[in-house]
Structure 1
Amino acid sequence: MRWAEAIAVLGGTPDAWPRLEARYGEPHRRYHTLDHAAAVARDSAWLAQDLGGTDRAVVAVAAWTHDVVYDAKPGEDERASAAWAREALAGVPEPHIERVEDLVLTTIKHDAPPDDLLATALLDADLAILGAPKELYAVYAKAVREEYAKYPDDVWRAGRIAVLEGMLARTLYRSEAARTRWATAAEKNLTTELTHWRRDQPDHR
């Protein structure tokens, strides 16, 4: 669902779009761009297709805003994005604003109650790239490394290994639809990248 359509469903005006577009166009971004937000909006719409119109609009707004602030500061970025969404939704009924904020904040730990269908749609869509064809996954992995360029290779390697191990140790996708579509490829992609970073460790034997 497009930004203007979703905002209209919630009773607001799409005036914040130019500012949102400008934030996603910041020069330091490589993966967390407007293309990523659009992909999450698209995939979350597919996952939320059986929900009501208002719920679909809430998920769409959360998708468009979940990375609107991105400075490679996990936790801080999501909280700042939620605050940005609140300001952008001025005029929208408070319950809808709160729901969008809550959804954006679920992306900090990628967790929410199992029965939260809106969060399921957003979180699964946000991880869809993990189940992309290997060539696209490689582009994603390279772009994320570039966004964290301030960290030296050894620090990045250790952190990335921890992230990859954590993702492989849990069930990535909350919905059956997402698991069917992306889980097998995601496991292969994550394992391949993890093997690369482990092999690249200075003390690797």
Structure 2
Amino acid sequence: MNDLAARWHRLTAPLMPDAARRAAEFQRLSAAYQAPTRHYHNLQHIENLLNRVEAADLHDPTVVQLAVWFHDAVYNALKHDNEARSAAEAMAFLRHSTLEPTRQQRVAFLIERTADHTQPQPPHDADLLLFLDADLSILGAPETAYWAYARQVRQEYRLVPDLLYRPGRRQVLAKMLAAPVLFRTPALCAEFDAPARRNLQAEIDAWDRGGL
């Protein structure tokens, strides 16, 4: 937590001299990501994405890192407007910053594009594509990590009975598996595409057999 706090302040201090406002927002985000309903979309997920995007050669690292911090700020498994509401929370914080309005809108745009990773994306928007690939990289994780992720997502939907969850989850997995392109950056595609497709098919097979 201390490391994440340091990273947050290192990112936001140049944009917002008001240390109290920055600290309050970090506490609010931390509380959201540590809610008892969060099993995968939590602070570990944020840290994993930060590690990946901070190591990347990005056009606007500040915008991408802000998008990472806020992209799952709102996560209600039973709602379909999480991305839009997360983007709105980012904008509510950033309006008090010195970040240019066009870059504030850019943060919101990146967040909103996580709503459906299979939708067409601007092909030359390297920062967006890296951000989306990083968010999806768990799909290509080693088997043990992937199955932990799949079970964590199931816990986030624990209020949904298997009778409803199974076909819904299977549909999501099948849509991703059918996508001609899952990862849009050459390096992450080479690393993750094949194992991701194996993992997706394995989970589909598991649900067809009755469950995880």
Taking structure 1 as the reference length, the TM-score comes to 0.89
Percent identical across equivalent pairs? 38
Return the offset for 1:151: 1.0
Q: Which residue of 1 aligns with 2:16?
A: 12
Moved over 6 A (4+): none
Return the offset for 1:149: 1.0
Distance in 2 between residues matched to 1:105 and 1:83, nearest whole Å: 10
Kept after mapping to 2: 8 A contact 1:3/1:60: no
Which residue identity does 2:192 align to in structure 1?
Answer: W
Q: Gaps (5+ residues) in structure 1?
A: none
Q: Which residue of 2 aligns with 1:97?
A: 104
How is 1:54-69 mapped onto 2 (pairs within 5 angstroms)?
A: 55-69=60-74
Distance in 1 between residues matched to 2:16 and 2:140, nearest whole Å: 34
Return the offset for 1:106: 0.4
In the alignment, is residue 80 of structure 1 matched against residue 85 of structure 2?
yes
Taking structure 2 as the reference length, the TM-score comes to 0.87
Return the offset for 1:74: 5.1
Which residue identity does 1:50 align to in structure 2?
Answer: D
How is 1:73-152 mapped onto 2 (pairs within 5 angstroms)?
A: 73=78, 75-89=80-94, 90-91=96-97, 92-110=99-117, 111=119, 112-152=121-161
Q: Which residue of 2 aligns with 1:51?
A: 58
Partner SS state of residue 145, structure 2? helix
Return the offset for 1:43: 1.7
Q: Which residue of 2 aligns with 1:167?
A: 176
Return the offset for 1:76: 0.9
Kept after mapping to 2: 8 A contact 1:81/1:104: yes
What CA deviation, in whole Å up to 9, does each residue of 1:89-139 have, x standing for no partner?
222321221110010000012242111112111100001111111001111
Distance in 1 between residues matched to 2:200 and 2:41, nearest whole Å: 19
Count of residues paired in the alignment:
196
Distance in 1 between residues matched to 2:42 and 2:57, nearest whole Å: 28
Which residue identity does 1:97 align to in structure 2?
Answer: Q
Return the offset for 1:19: 1.1
Kept after mapping to 2: 8 A contact 1:44/1:124: no
Which residue identity does 2:16 align to in structure 1?
Answer: G
Return the offset for 1:4: 2.2
